[in-house]
Amino acid sequence: MSGIRALGTGVLLAPLLVASPAAWSQMTAPAKAGSVIYSCTDAQGKRLTSDRPIPECAAREQRVLNSDGSLRRVLPPTLTAAERAEAEARDIEAAAERVAKQDAIRRDRSLMSRYPNEAAHRRSRDAALEIVRSSMRISEARIKALNVERKPLQEETQFYAGKQVPAKLKSQIDANDAALTAQRSLMQDQEAEVVRIDGLYDAELLRLKKLWAGAPPGSLDAPAASGGASIAAANPSSKPVNR
């Protein structure tokens, strides 16, 4: 009987003895609760399995199986450094687009809250322009006064025709010239500011008309500039200083 039992044991063990070491390890390893199996096919078409991510399949998709063989999830290929950098750049770009979209929505809602109708927008435009035009009137008055001051100085130089003009008189004429040049330059800046403010309000009004007509906030193209004209109206201290 002992011989038969030995023979029987040998017969039962025969399939295990001819199995590969990997198969032997898998068949004899005790099952662990919650354990997973990573499975993939390498570049040579060989199917590989492991209890952890498989280095040979880093660039390939790996299936993560439960201990009962059911699919738990699919592990995407591990990215190269260049691929990671590209993916990070895409993520940053997408995040920037989301932030820009949120900013556009907030900006449009704020714009509609500030200007519920065209009359409110017109009043704001007029207030912004009045700040600059007030400075222009001051500059114009200053230029007129400088021209009045210059006339007697110019007449006085006629007494020195062919002679050297006294230093004091020359200094007064030079100071008058410098002041006139500064005021004329300031006037040019103020005229350009009127054009800039009008342009900002024109673009803002065009956007508002679309929003008033029902366009969702944030759905329109981004404005070239935001709030510049309104800031000018809200900050009188930003007007040019007259010299």
Q: What is the pTM of this model?
A: 0.57
Taking the C-alpha atoms of residue 174 and residue 180, their distance in angstroms, rounded to an integer, is 10
Q: Measured in Å, how far apart are the chain's first and last C-alpha atoms?
A: 124
Q: What is the pLDDT of residue 231?
A: 45
Return the amino acid letter for 131: I
Better-scored residue on pLDDT, 93 or 78: 93
Burial of residue 11 (number of CB atoms within 10 Å: 0-12, 13-18, 19+):
exposed
Contacts 24+ apart (CB under 8 A), 59-66: 62/38, 63/38, 63/39, 64/36, 64/37, 64/38, 64/39, 65/36, 65/37, 65/38, 65/39, 66/36, 66/37
Type of residue at 171? S
Output DSSP code: residue 213: T
pLDDT digits (tens, 9 = 90+) for 39-81: 999 888 899 999 999 988 888 899 999 988 899 999 888 877 8
191-237, pLDDT tens digit by residue? 999 999 999 999 999 999 999 999 999 999 876 554 444 444 444 44
pLDDT for 212 equals 97
